[in-house]
Amino acid sequence: MTNKKILPTDLLTKLVILMLFFLLLYTFLVEFRNFLYPIFLGILFAYLLYPVAKFFERLSIPRIPGILLSVILGIFMVYGTIFFIYWQLRFLLKDLPRLEAQAVKNLDIFFGQIEAQFGTVSEAQQLNFKENISRFFQASTDNLDLILTATAQTIFTVFIMPVYVFFLLYYRNKYRDFILMVLPEKGHQKTDQIIKEISVVIKKYMGGVTVVVLILCVLNSLGLYIVGVKYWLLFGLISAICNFIPYFGTIIGFAFPLVMALLTGDGPGTAVGVVILFIIIQFTENNILTPSITGGQVRVNPFFIILSVLIGGIIWGVPGMFIVVPLMASIRIICEKVEILKPWAFLIGNSGTEKYEITTNKVKNFFTRKT
Protein backbone atom coordinates (compact mmCIF):
# COMPACT_ATOMS: atom_id res chain seq x y z
CA MET A 1 0.00 0.00 0.00
CA THR A 2 1.18 3.51 -0.79
CA ASN A 3 1.20 6.06 2.00
CA LYS A 4 -1.08 9.01 1.30
CA LYS A 5 0.29 12.39 2.29
CA ILE A 6 -2.10 14.60 4.20
CA LEU A 7 -0.29 17.75 3.06
CA PRO A 8 2.28 18.19 0.30
CA THR A 9 5.78 18.58 1.70
CA ASP A 10 6.29 21.99 0.09
CA LEU A 11 3.00 23.30 1.52
CA LEU A 12 3.85 22.00 4.99
CA THR A 13 7.27 23.63 4.77
CA LYS A 14 5.70 26.95 3.77
CA LEU A 15 3.27 26.77 6.71
CA VAL A 16 6.09 26.06 9.16
CA ILE A 17 8.17 28.93 7.75
CA LEU A 18 5.15 31.25 7.95
CA MET A 19 4.48 30.27 11.57
CA LEU A 20 8.13 30.82 12.48
CA PHE A 21 8.09 34.19 10.75
CA PHE A 22 5.05 35.39 12.71
CA LEU A 23 6.51 34.01 15.95
CA LEU A 24 9.78 35.88 15.38
CA LEU A 25 7.88 39.02 14.32
CA TYR A 26 5.75 38.90 17.49
CA THR A 27 8.85 38.40 19.67
CA PHE A 28 10.64 41.28 17.96
CA LEU A 29 7.67 43.66 18.32
CA VAL A 30 7.17 42.79 21.99
CA GLU A 31 10.85 42.92 22.97
CA PHE A 32 11.45 46.29 21.29
CA ARG A 33 8.03 47.84 21.94
CA ASN A 34 9.39 50.80 23.95
CA PHE A 35 11.65 51.68 21.03
CA LEU A 36 9.27 50.95 18.15
CA TYR A 37 5.88 52.35 19.12
CA PRO A 38 7.16 55.94 19.65
CA ILE A 39 8.58 55.80 16.11
CA PHE A 40 5.28 54.58 14.66
CA LEU A 41 3.38 57.21 16.64
CA GLY A 42 5.90 59.75 15.34
CA ILE A 43 5.12 58.68 11.77
CA LEU A 44 1.38 59.17 12.34
CA PHE A 45 1.89 62.57 13.98
CA ALA A 46 4.21 63.53 11.13
CA TYR A 47 1.39 62.82 8.68
CA LEU A 48 -0.97 64.81 10.90
CA LEU A 49 1.35 67.83 11.01
CA TYR A 50 2.43 67.60 7.36
CA PRO A 51 -0.37 69.92 6.10
CA VAL A 52 0.59 72.46 8.76
CA ALA A 53 4.24 72.31 7.75
CA LYS A 54 3.29 72.70 4.07
CA PHE A 55 1.12 75.68 4.96
CA PHE A 56 4.09 77.43 6.60
CA GLU A 57 6.27 76.58 3.60
CA ARG A 58 3.68 78.12 1.26
CA LEU A 59 4.02 81.30 3.31
CA SER A 60 7.69 81.36 2.16
CA ILE A 61 8.92 80.18 5.56
CA PRO A 62 11.98 77.90 5.13
CA ARG A 63 11.47 74.20 5.78
CA ILE A 64 13.31 74.00 9.12
CA PRO A 65 11.51 76.94 10.85
CA GLY A 66 8.19 75.79 9.34
CA ILE A 67 8.61 72.26 10.69
CA LEU A 68 9.72 73.61 14.08
CA LEU A 69 6.58 75.74 14.31
CA SER A 70 4.45 72.72 13.36
CA VAL A 71 6.11 70.49 15.96
CA ILE A 72 5.78 73.17 18.67
CA LEU A 73 2.08 73.47 17.85
CA GLY A 74 1.72 69.69 18.08
CA ILE A 75 3.61 69.58 21.40
CA PHE A 76 1.36 72.30 22.80
CA MET A 77 -1.80 70.39 21.84
CA VAL A 78 -0.75 66.86 22.84
CA TYR A 79 1.27 67.54 25.98
CA GLY A 80 -1.09 70.31 27.03
CA THR A 81 -3.98 67.85 26.94
CA ILE A 82 -1.97 65.23 28.86
CA PHE A 83 -1.01 67.80 31.50
CA PHE A 84 -4.63 68.95 31.88
CA ILE A 85 -5.84 65.36 32.37
CA TYR A 86 -3.01 64.75 34.85
CA TRP A 87 -4.00 67.89 36.76
CA GLN A 88 -7.69 66.89 36.84
CA LEU A 89 -6.86 63.36 37.98
CA ARG A 90 -4.98 64.81 40.93
CA PHE A 91 -8.15 66.61 42.04
CA LEU A 92 -10.15 63.41 41.55
CA LEU A 93 -7.63 61.52 43.66
CA LYS A 94 -8.01 63.99 46.53
CA ASP A 95 -11.81 63.78 46.26
CA LEU A 96 -12.01 59.97 46.38
CA PRO A 97 -12.79 59.76 50.16
CA ARG A 98 -15.83 62.02 49.71
CA LEU A 99 -16.92 60.05 46.64
CA GLU A 100 -16.57 56.83 48.62
CA ALA A 101 -18.85 58.24 51.34
CA GLN A 102 -21.39 59.21 48.68
CA ALA A 103 -21.21 55.71 47.19
CA VAL A 104 -21.88 54.10 50.59
CA LYS A 105 -24.81 56.50 51.10
CA ASN A 106 -26.23 55.55 47.69
CA LEU A 107 -25.81 51.89 48.60
CA ASP A 108 -27.85 52.38 51.80
CA ILE A 109 -30.61 54.04 49.77
CA PHE A 110 -30.48 51.16 47.27
CA PHE A 111 -30.82 48.55 50.03
CA GLY A 112 -33.69 50.52 51.54
CA GLN A 113 -35.54 50.42 48.22
CA ILE A 114 -34.92 46.68 47.87
CA GLU A 115 -36.23 46.04 51.38
CA ALA A 116 -39.34 48.07 50.62
CA GLN A 117 -40.01 46.07 47.45
CA PHE A 118 -38.76 42.53 48.14
CA GLY A 119 -38.16 42.17 51.86
CA THR A 120 -35.20 42.37 54.24
CA VAL A 121 -31.63 42.14 52.97
CA SER A 122 -29.29 40.44 55.42
CA GLU A 123 -26.70 42.54 57.23
CA ALA A 124 -23.97 40.19 55.97
CA GLN A 125 -24.91 40.97 52.35
CA GLN A 126 -24.99 44.70 53.04
CA LEU A 127 -21.62 44.56 54.79
CA ASN A 128 -20.16 42.54 51.91
CA PHE A 129 -21.35 45.12 49.36
CA LYS A 130 -19.94 48.00 51.40
CA GLU A 131 -16.60 46.24 51.80
CA ASN A 132 -16.47 45.72 48.04
CA ILE A 133 -17.17 49.43 47.51
CA SER A 134 -14.35 50.34 49.91
CA ARG A 135 -11.97 47.93 48.16
CA PHE A 136 -12.99 49.42 44.80
CA PHE A 137 -12.13 52.96 45.89
CA GLN A 138 -8.91 51.83 47.55
CA ALA A 139 -7.92 50.02 44.37
CA SER A 140 -8.90 53.11 42.36
CA THR A 141 -6.65 55.26 44.56
CA ASP A 142 -3.71 52.87 44.09
CA ASN A 143 -4.35 52.56 40.35
CA LEU A 144 -4.65 56.32 39.88
CA ASP A 145 -1.32 56.81 41.65
CA LEU A 146 0.16 54.15 39.38
CA ILE A 147 -1.38 55.74 36.27
CA LEU A 148 -0.11 59.19 37.17
CA THR A 149 3.39 57.83 37.82
CA ALA A 150 3.30 55.73 34.64
CA THR A 151 2.06 58.72 32.65
CA ALA A 152 4.95 60.85 33.88
CA GLN A 153 7.39 58.09 32.97
CA THR A 154 5.75 57.63 29.57
CA ILE A 155 5.99 61.34 28.83
CA PHE A 156 9.68 61.19 29.73
CA THR A 157 10.36 58.10 27.58
CA VAL A 158 8.50 59.39 24.51
CA PHE A 159 9.77 62.95 24.87
CA ILE A 160 12.03 62.03 21.98
CA MET A 161 8.95 61.64 19.75
CA PRO A 162 8.86 65.33 18.70
CA VAL A 163 12.42 64.84 17.48
CA TYR A 164 11.23 61.86 15.42
CA VAL A 165 8.41 63.98 13.99
CA PHE A 166 10.81 66.77 13.06
CA PHE A 167 13.24 64.51 11.19
CA LEU A 168 10.43 62.53 9.53
CA LEU A 169 9.05 65.78 8.12
CA TYR A 170 12.47 67.21 7.26
CA TYR A 171 13.71 64.10 5.41
CA ARG A 172 10.33 63.13 3.91
CA ASN A 173 11.60 63.26 0.31
CA LYS A 174 14.74 61.34 1.24
CA TYR A 175 12.78 58.32 2.52
CA ARG A 176 10.79 58.09 -0.71
CA ASP A 177 13.95 58.32 -2.82
CA PHE A 178 15.62 55.64 -0.69
CA ILE A 179 12.73 53.21 -1.25
CA LEU A 180 12.89 53.81 -5.01
CA MET A 181 16.69 53.34 -5.01
CA VAL A 182 16.59 49.91 -3.36
CA LEU A 183 13.85 48.59 -5.68
CA PRO A 184 14.24 47.62 -9.35
CA GLU A 185 13.64 50.46 -11.77
CA LYS A 186 10.79 48.65 -13.51
CA GLY A 187 8.73 48.82 -10.32
CA HIS A 188 9.32 52.50 -9.60
CA GLN A 189 6.03 53.69 -11.08
CA LYS A 190 3.92 51.25 -9.06
CA THR A 191 5.97 51.89 -5.90
CA ASP A 192 5.58 55.63 -6.27
CA GLN A 193 1.83 55.17 -6.69
CA ILE A 194 1.67 53.01 -3.54
CA ILE A 195 3.60 55.62 -1.52
CA LYS A 196 1.30 58.41 -2.72
CA GLU A 197 -1.88 56.46 -1.93
CA ILE A 198 -0.66 55.47 1.54
CA SER A 199 0.32 59.08 2.25
CA VAL A 200 -3.08 60.40 1.18
CA VAL A 201 -5.01 57.78 3.17
CA ILE A 202 -3.01 58.25 6.39
CA LYS A 203 -3.11 62.05 6.15
CA LYS A 204 -6.87 62.08 5.65
CA TYR A 205 -7.43 59.45 8.33
CA MET A 206 -5.29 61.22 10.94
CA GLY A 207 -6.78 64.62 10.15
CA GLY A 208 -10.32 63.26 10.09
CA VAL A 209 -10.12 61.26 13.32
CA THR A 210 -8.49 64.23 15.09
CA VAL A 211 -11.33 66.54 14.04
CA VAL A 212 -13.88 63.94 15.18
CA VAL A 213 -12.17 63.66 18.60
CA LEU A 214 -12.11 67.45 19.01
CA ILE A 215 -15.84 67.65 18.25
CA LEU A 216 -16.53 64.79 20.66
CA CYS A 217 -14.56 66.58 23.40
CA VAL A 218 -17.18 69.34 23.26
CA LEU A 219 -20.21 67.06 22.82
CA ASN A 220 -19.19 64.60 25.54
CA SER A 221 -18.26 67.25 28.09
CA LEU A 222 -21.41 69.28 27.45
CA GLY A 223 -23.58 66.15 27.59
CA LEU A 224 -22.04 64.91 30.85
CA TYR A 225 -22.44 68.39 32.36
CA ILE A 226 -26.14 68.43 31.44
CA VAL A 227 -26.62 64.90 32.82
CA GLY A 228 -24.94 65.93 36.08
CA VAL A 229 -21.82 63.73 36.19
CA LYS A 230 -19.08 64.88 38.56
CA TYR A 231 -15.79 65.81 36.85
CA TRP A 232 -17.68 66.11 33.57
CA LEU A 233 -14.84 67.90 31.76
CA LEU A 234 -12.27 65.25 32.70
CA PHE A 235 -14.49 62.35 31.68
CA GLY A 236 -15.62 64.19 28.55
CA LEU A 237 -12.00 64.54 27.40
CA ILE A 238 -11.08 60.95 28.30
CA SER A 239 -14.13 59.47 26.54
CA ALA A 240 -13.42 61.57 23.44
CA ILE A 241 -9.71 60.66 23.30
CA CYS A 242 -10.65 56.98 23.59
CA ASN A 243 -12.35 57.35 20.18
CA PHE A 244 -8.91 57.18 18.59
CA ILE A 245 -9.45 53.43 19.14
CA PRO A 246 -12.09 52.18 16.66
CA TYR A 247 -15.20 50.34 17.94
CA PHE A 248 -13.88 49.80 21.47
CA GLY A 249 -13.02 53.43 22.19
CA THR A 250 -16.53 54.76 22.79
CA ILE A 251 -17.43 51.85 25.08
CA ILE A 252 -14.20 52.19 27.08
CA GLY A 253 -14.55 55.97 27.27
CA PHE A 254 -18.13 55.97 28.56
CA ALA A 255 -17.45 53.20 31.09
CA PHE A 256 -15.70 55.75 33.35
CA PRO A 257 -18.55 58.30 33.65
CA LEU A 258 -21.10 55.46 33.90
CA VAL A 259 -19.32 53.94 36.92
CA MET A 260 -18.99 57.42 38.45
CA ALA A 261 -22.70 58.07 37.92
CA LEU A 262 -23.74 54.70 39.37
CA LEU A 263 -21.62 55.03 42.50
CA THR A 264 -21.67 58.74 43.29
CA GLY A 265 -24.65 60.18 41.40
CA ASP A 266 -27.56 61.83 43.16
CA GLY A 267 -29.90 59.14 41.86
CA PRO A 268 -30.40 56.48 39.17
CA GLY A 269 -31.41 59.20 36.72
CA THR A 270 -27.76 60.24 36.33
CA ALA A 271 -26.69 56.75 35.21
CA VAL A 272 -29.70 56.50 32.87
CA GLY A 273 -28.74 59.89 31.43
CA VAL A 274 -25.18 58.66 30.77
CA VAL A 275 -26.53 55.59 28.93
CA ILE A 276 -28.86 57.74 26.80
CA LEU A 277 -25.99 60.14 26.09
CA PHE A 278 -23.78 57.19 25.08
CA ILE A 279 -26.41 55.98 22.59
CA ILE A 280 -26.83 59.47 21.09
CA ILE A 281 -23.07 60.09 20.83
CA GLN A 282 -22.45 56.63 19.37
CA PHE A 283 -25.13 57.13 16.70
CA THR A 284 -23.87 60.63 15.87
CA GLU A 285 -20.23 59.54 15.66
CA ASN A 286 -20.85 56.40 13.59
CA ASN A 287 -23.46 57.78 11.19
CA ILE A 288 -22.71 61.49 10.88
CA LEU A 289 -19.26 62.59 12.08
CA THR A 290 -16.97 59.74 10.99
CA PRO A 291 -18.54 59.12 7.53
CA SER A 292 -18.67 62.86 6.76
CA ILE A 293 -15.20 63.81 8.04
CA THR A 294 -12.99 60.75 7.48
CA GLY A 295 -14.92 59.62 4.41
CA GLY A 296 -14.16 55.91 4.81
CA GLN A 297 -10.48 56.31 3.90
CA VAL A 298 -9.32 53.09 5.56
CA ARG A 299 -11.61 50.74 3.56
CA VAL A 300 -10.84 47.73 5.76
CA ASN A 301 -13.80 45.60 6.79
CA PRO A 302 -14.89 45.85 10.46
CA PHE A 303 -14.03 42.22 11.26
CA PHE A 304 -10.34 42.71 10.42
CA ILE A 305 -10.26 46.11 12.13
CA ILE A 306 -11.55 44.51 15.35
CA LEU A 307 -9.02 41.66 15.07
CA SER A 308 -6.23 44.12 14.34
CA VAL A 309 -7.15 46.35 17.28
CA LEU A 310 -7.13 43.34 19.62
CA ILE A 311 -3.76 42.12 18.30
CA GLY A 312 -2.34 45.65 18.49
CA GLY A 313 -3.48 45.88 22.11
CA ILE A 314 -1.84 42.55 22.97
CA ILE A 315 1.48 43.57 21.40
CA TRP A 316 1.79 47.30 22.18
CA GLY A 317 -1.11 48.10 24.49
CA VAL A 318 -3.13 51.28 23.88
CA PRO A 319 -0.62 52.77 21.36
CA GLY A 320 -0.87 49.54 19.34
CA MET A 321 -4.67 49.78 19.23
CA PHE A 322 -4.34 53.24 17.71
CA ILE A 323 -1.46 52.53 15.32
CA VAL A 324 -2.87 49.34 13.83
CA VAL A 325 -5.77 50.91 11.86
CA PRO A 326 -3.69 53.10 9.48
CA LEU A 327 -1.22 50.20 9.31
CA MET A 328 -3.99 47.89 8.05
CA ALA A 329 -5.01 50.53 5.51
CA SER A 330 -1.41 50.64 4.24
CA ILE A 331 -1.28 46.84 4.00
CA ARG A 332 -4.54 46.85 2.01
CA ILE A 333 -3.12 49.38 -0.47
CA ILE A 334 0.09 47.36 -0.93
CA CYS A 335 -1.88 44.14 -1.47
CA GLU A 336 -4.11 45.84 -4.04
CA LYS A 337 -1.10 46.94 -6.10
CA VAL A 338 0.84 43.65 -5.99
CA GLU A 339 -0.74 41.03 -8.25
CA ILE A 340 0.06 37.99 -6.11
CA LEU A 341 -1.36 39.70 -2.99
CA LYS A 342 -4.67 40.88 -4.49
CA PRO A 343 -6.69 38.04 -2.85
CA TRP A 344 -5.51 39.32 0.55
CA ALA A 345 -6.60 42.85 -0.35
CA PHE A 346 -10.04 41.45 -1.23
CA LEU A 347 -10.16 39.54 2.07
CA ILE A 348 -9.33 42.45 4.37
CA GLY A 349 -11.05 45.13 2.26
CA ASN A 350 -14.66 46.24 2.49
CA SER A 351 -15.65 45.23 -1.06
CA GLY A 352 -17.50 42.09 -2.12
CA THR A 353 -20.53 42.38 0.18
CA GLU A 354 -22.26 45.38 -1.37
CA LYS A 355 -25.48 43.48 -2.12
CA TYR A 356 -25.88 42.62 1.58
CA GLU A 357 -25.36 46.14 2.92
CA ILE A 358 -28.29 47.97 4.50
CA THR A 359 -28.76 51.26 2.66
CA THR A 360 -31.39 53.97 2.70
CA ASN A 361 -32.75 52.88 -0.69
CA LYS A 362 -33.05 49.25 0.43
CA VAL A 363 -34.94 50.25 3.57
CA LYS A 364 -37.21 52.53 1.53
CA ASN A 365 -37.88 49.78 -1.04
CA PHE A 366 -38.60 47.27 1.75
CA PHE A 367 -41.30 49.43 3.31
CA THR A 368 -42.64 50.41 -0.12
CA ARG A 369 -43.23 46.73 -0.95
CA LYS A 370 -44.95 46.22 2.41
CA THR A 371 -47.40 49.04 1.74
Q: Choose the final residue of a domain: 277, 295, 313.
A: 295
Averaged over 305-310, what is the pLDDT? 90
183 located within any domain:
no
Residues 291 and 305 occupy one common structural domain? no
If asked whether residues 160 and 37 sit together in one domain, one would say yes
Q: How many domains does the chain have?
A: 3
Residue 146 pLDDT more than 60?
A: no
Stretch among 93-107, 108-122, 185-199, 325-339 having the lowest mean pLDDT: 108-122
**Per-residue pLDDT reduced to its tens digit, 250-303:** 888 888 888 877 777 666 778 788 889 888 888 888 777 777 776 667 888 888
Residues near 36 by beta carbon (within 8 Å), at least 6 away in sequence: 29, 316
307 residue type, one letter? L
pLDDT digits (tens, 9 = 90+) for 5-50: 555 667 788 888 889 998 999 999 998 888 888 889 899 999 999 9
Pair (284, 308) in one structural domain: no
pLDDT at 317: 86
Q: Looking at the whole model, is its pTM more than 0.95?
A: no
Of the residues 295, 326, 342, the one at which a domain ends = 295
Of 255, 273, 295, the position where a domain reaches its end is 295
Q: Closest by alpha carbon to 46, among 250, 273, 199, 213?
A: 199
- Let me know if residue 222 belongs to a domain: yes
**Is the domain of 154 the same as that of 222?**
no
Range of the domain at 120: 33-170
| pLDDT(126) > 80 | no
Contacts of 35 (CB under 8 A, 6+ apart): none
Rounded to whole angstroms, the Cα distance separating 68 from 197 reads 26
In whole angstroms, give the CA distance from residue 68 to residue 70.
5
CA 331 to chain CA centroid, Å, is 18
Do residue 38 and residue 165 come from a single domain? yes
Residue 10 forms part of a structural domain:
no
For 48, 124, 325, the CA distances from 45, given in Å and listed in that order, are 5, 54, 14
Residues 310-356 pLDDT 10s: 999 999 888 888 899 899 999 999 999 888 888 888 988 887 776 66
Residues 252 and 340 in one domain: no
3-state secondary structure of 120: coil
